[in-house]
Chains A and B, each alone.
Chain A
């Protein structure tokens, strides 16, 4: 058993999941993986069963936060030293997991796979949102996180325990901001992400606006009032 677990939340990813997981199995056998089928309505679950993948089959749809927590709980129960989230659509390359693990071994709690360490952000609406979040995190915590919305995050054993047991621990920038404020050590490692090959993005303009409002209010206001009694 490896001490690194790759969690792959998948919701209606029948077109991608096989390619993503097969790539992982063939080229990166040194890592353990678990697919979290988040109550998909398409054939994602069927494919996982047929191919004999290691997967958690959630009977109902919980959303990304719920699927992520299910994966984290699995990592916690199985005693993994660190867990990393990779998207089910193949945007995140497992090639960078090694780099991130190396960084984590230097004593960090969270390692973020960042697209913008060496590269400038392109001028799109999406990046405007990213900049806003980066700014919000900087003024509330003092930490400069260049790619706050990156879904490619690696968590240490200590963090796994917290995420597994806590209530407001979604895999989102506001949780990262909160944890930084509470003294967690966060580092970023440069990665390259691919465009989606198949399927549509979840982020519609309305959802994006709602997401941004929620994140900003959460980071700027709510997280300041949270306490942490676990150590």
Chain B
């Protein structure tokens, strides 16, 4: 692992952490969602500061160069994360459909129940 790769990893990690903290400060991100990035940055810093870990792991896995192990690790973690996000987006979409249908149905029922509201609406619209 070259010194350059190590420094790039450290810089990227520190940058990511700072960005995430900024998002939290501005109330643009929830703490639960930030934990992944903080853990991820922490792992990369750990690998850069203690390359022995990477050497050992590389030997165990059988990658030709230690740097390859880092790439493999990052790809693997990101794929897992992507899978989780896919699931979450599906759930969000399902919830949104539920909500939209619910609002429409409620409005329909309300209109059926009391016509005065409907009349008032028409008045304000015209």
Contacts and interface: CB of A to CB of B under 8 A. Distances in A.
A166 B102 CA distance: 26
B109 to A, nearest CB: 14
19 contacts: A59-B98, A60-B95, A60-B98, A166-B27, A167-B27, A167-B28, A168-B24, A168-B27, A168-B30, A168-B31, A174-B31, A214-B31, A214-B35, A217-B35, A217-B39, A221-B38, A222-B21, A222-B31, A227-B25
Interface in A155-192: 166-168, 170, 174
A218 B29 CA distance: 13
Contacts of A60: 95, 98-99
A226 interface: yes
Contact residues on B (Cβ < 8 Å of other chain), bracket: 10 to 19
Interface string A209-231: 00001100110011001110000
Interface string B1-28: 0000000000000000000010011011
A213 B21 CA distance: 18
A132 to B, nearest CB: 17
A226 B25 contact: yes
Interface residues of A, number: 17
Interface in A82-124: none
Interface in B97-119: 98-99, 102
A188 B39 CA distance: 33
B68 interface: no
Interface in A121-158: none
B94 to A, nearest CB: 8
B63 interface: no
Contacts of A226: 24-25
A170 B32 CA distance: 10
Nearest to B103: A59
B31 to A, nearest CB: 5
Question: Main SS of the interface on chain A?
Answer: loop
Interface of B: 21, 24-25, 27-28, 30-32, 34-35, 38-39, 95, 98-99, 102
Contacts of A61: 95
A222 B24 contact: yes
A218 B28 CA distance: 16
Contacts of B35: 213-214, 217-218
A62 to B, nearest CB: 9
A90 B102 CA distance: 30
Given A166-B27, A222-B21, A226-B24, A59 B38 contact: no
A108 B98 CA distance: 41
Q: For A60, A213, A221, which residue has the most chain B Cβ atoms within 10 angstroms?
A: A60
A226 B32 CA distance: 14
Shortest 3 CB-CB contacts between residues of A and residues of B: A167-B27, A60-B95, A225-B21
Nearest to A57: B102
A225 B25 contact: yes
A167 B38 CA distance: 19
Contacts of A222: 21, 24, 31, 34, 38
A167 B34 CA distance: 13
A224 to B, nearest CB: 9
Contacts of A214: 31-32, 35
A174 B30 CA distance: 13
Given A168-B30, A222-B21, A226-B25, 6 more contacts: A166-B27, A170-B31, A213-B35, A218-B35, A222-B24, A222-B34
